Amino acid sequence: MIKKIYQIPDMHCSNCPMHLEAIEDDLPGIRRIKGSYAKQTLEVEFDENLVKEEEIWAAINDAGYHIREAK
């Protein structure tokens, strides 16, 4: 299990995290996902055997958001 925190700098309202959290429904292997509008972050815990990080990035991009790994 891997846990990553991503910066999503273009969240513009409190509904954005909920929109991003919905990718959990489309990608098997995501165990937990939590977005924060205030912090502009998305925390994702996933099973790397079921979903690749590149697939998560692609789903976030497809949802209309830019992403970068948090420092």
- Cα three-residue angle 45-14-22, rounded to 5 degrees: 40
Half-sphere exposure for 5 (CA within 13 Å, toward CB): 6
Q: Would you state the pLDDT for residue 68?
A: 86
Q: Would you state the pLDDT for residue 55?
A: 95
Question: Which helix (DSSP H) or strand (DSSP E) does residue 69 occupy?
Answer: strand 68-69
12-63 tens-digit pLDDT: 999 999 999 999 999 999 999 999 999 999 999 999 999 999 999 999 999 9
- The number of distinct structural domains making up the chain is 1
Q: Would you state the pLDDT for residue 60?
A: 95
> Is the pLDDT confidence value at 71 over 80?
no
